Amino acid sequence: MVEPDNLRHTKIALNNGSGAIPALGFGTLIPDPIATRNATNAALQAGFRALDTAERYRNEKEVGAAMQEVFKAGKIRREELFVAAKLWNTNHRPERVRPAFEASLEKLQVDYVDLYLIHTPFAFRPGDEQDPRDASGKVIYDQAVTLLDTWRAMEALVDEGKCKAIGLSDVSLEHVKGIFGAARIKPAVVHVESHPYLPEWELLEYCRNNGIVLQAFAALGHSGEPKLLDDPVIAAVARRVNKTSAQVLLAWGIQRGTALLTTSTTPSRIKENFDVSTLPENAMREINEGIKLRVRLNTVVETGVPGFIPRAN
C-alpha cells in the first residue's frame, strides 16, 4: 500500500531559468480530432498541467480548442500550463523554422510555448508534404541543412521570448553531445522513448550531469508488444502497493528523475494516470534490477519516420 502524496505535482526546473516542467505530462498523439479534443480536455480536468503537441500530429487546432475551453471556463490560467510543440522534419531549414513555429502558435491559440522541440534530427525535403517519398517509396531527405543550422534558428526564437525553452527529440547521446557542445542556448529537454524496457540510463546520466531534463515518451509502452503493462515484475509491484501497473510505471519514471508522457483517450485511464504516488525504494530496485528485457518500440530514431503515426498513403 502506498499513501497518496504530491508525486503527481512534481516539477523539474529547466536550465537557463526557463521555468519548470511538470514531470507528469499528457501527450496528444491521438489520430482522431474529436478524440483529441475530448482527451485533452479530460486530461486538464484530471489535473495534468503539461501538454505535448506536434505539428506532425495534425491536431494542434483541437488541442488549442481544448485549452481554450478550460481557460474560458476559468478553470486553469495559461501560465499554469506547460505547453510543448515540435518542429517537423520538413521545416529544418532555418528560414522555415519561424513560419512553422508561428503556425503552431496560431493553431494552438497561444502567445508562447514553454518548450519547442526539434521533432527528430532528420531533415526531410522542405515543403508541405510531411512524408516526402520518391517513386520507389523511399523517404527524401534534405542534405542541405545540419541539425546545428536548425538549432541556431531555434535559439533565435528563445531570444525573442516567444518560446521559453528549446530541446531535442528522438536523438542519440551523440546528437545531444554535439548540440550541447556547440549551442549558445543549451538544450533544456531531451525527449526520447523510455520505460523499463528501454531505460536509457547512459543518456539520463549525461542529461543529469549537464542540467538537461530527460522526458520519456511511451512511458506505458504505447500498448505495443511485448506488453509492458503485463510485465510480471511491474504487475507484482502493483499488487503489493495496491496501485495499477500504469501507476507503477509512471511513478517509477518520475522517481528516477525523468519527466514523462502518457496518453489515453479513455477518461477513467486519464484519471488513473494522474493518480500516482511514490513507490517504496525496494520497488524501484526491483524494477531496475529485475527487468532485463530491452525493447525499442518506436523506430523513429533510425529514420525520422514516426513509428506510432499511421502513414496516410
Ligand X SMILES: NC(=O)c1ccc[n+]([C@@H]2O[C@H](COP(=O)([O-])OP(=O)(O)OC[C@H]3O[C@@H](n4cnc5c(N)ncnc54)[C@H](OP(=O)(O)O)[C@@H]3O)[C@@H](O)[C@H]2O)c1
Contact set with ligand X (CB under 6 A): 27-29, 52, 119, 169-170, 191, 217-223, 229, 246, 261-266, 269, 272-273, 298, 300, 306, 308
Amino acid at position 165, single letter? A
Q: Which residue number, 176 or 281, has a Cβ lying nearer to ligand X? A: 176
d(CA 16, CA 154): 15
Q: Are 168 and 22 in contact (CB under 8 A)?
A: no
Closest separation in Å from C-beta 114 to ligand X? 14
ω into residue 126 within 30 of 0, thus cis? no
Closest separation in Å from C-beta 268 to ligand X? 8
Q: Which residue number, 30 or 65, has a Cβ lying nearer to ligand X? A: 30
Closest separation in Å from C-beta 12 to ligand X? 17
Other Cβ atoms less than 10 A from the Cβ of 106: the count is: 12
Closest separation in Å from C-beta 57 to ligand X? 7
Query: Residue 251 corresponds to which cell in the numbers above?
Result: 511513478
Closest separation in Å from C-beta 63 to ligand X? 10
**Closest by CA position to 27, among listed 176, 165, 169:** 169
Q: Which residue number, 264 or 277, has a Cβ lying nearer to ligand X? A: 264
Q: Which residue number, 60 or 286, has a Cβ lying nearer to ligand X? A: 60
Taking CB atoms, the residue at the shortest distance from ligand X is 27
CA angle 166, 170, 171 (to 5 degrees): 80
Tell me which of 57, 112, 116, 197 is the catalytic residue: 57
What CA–CA distances, in Å, run from 271 to 38, 64, 82, 246, 268? 13, 21, 19, 11, 5
Residue in this structure with the C-alpha cell 505495443, named with its chain if needed? 224
Q: Which residue number, 32 or 161, has a Cβ lying nearer to ligand X? A: 32
Residue in this structure with the C-alpha cell 543518456, named with its chain if needed? 203
d(CA 43, CA 271): 7
Closest separation in Å from C-beta 17 to ligand X? 25
Q: Are 281 and 206 in contact (CB under 8 A)?
A: no
Amino acid at position 219, single letter? A
Q: Which residue number, 262 or 277, has a Cβ lying nearer to ligand X? A: 262
Number of H-type helices and E-type strands within the chain: 11, 10
Report H helices in 109-143: none
Q: Is 57 a catalytic residue?
A: yes
Which residues are annotated as catalytic?
57
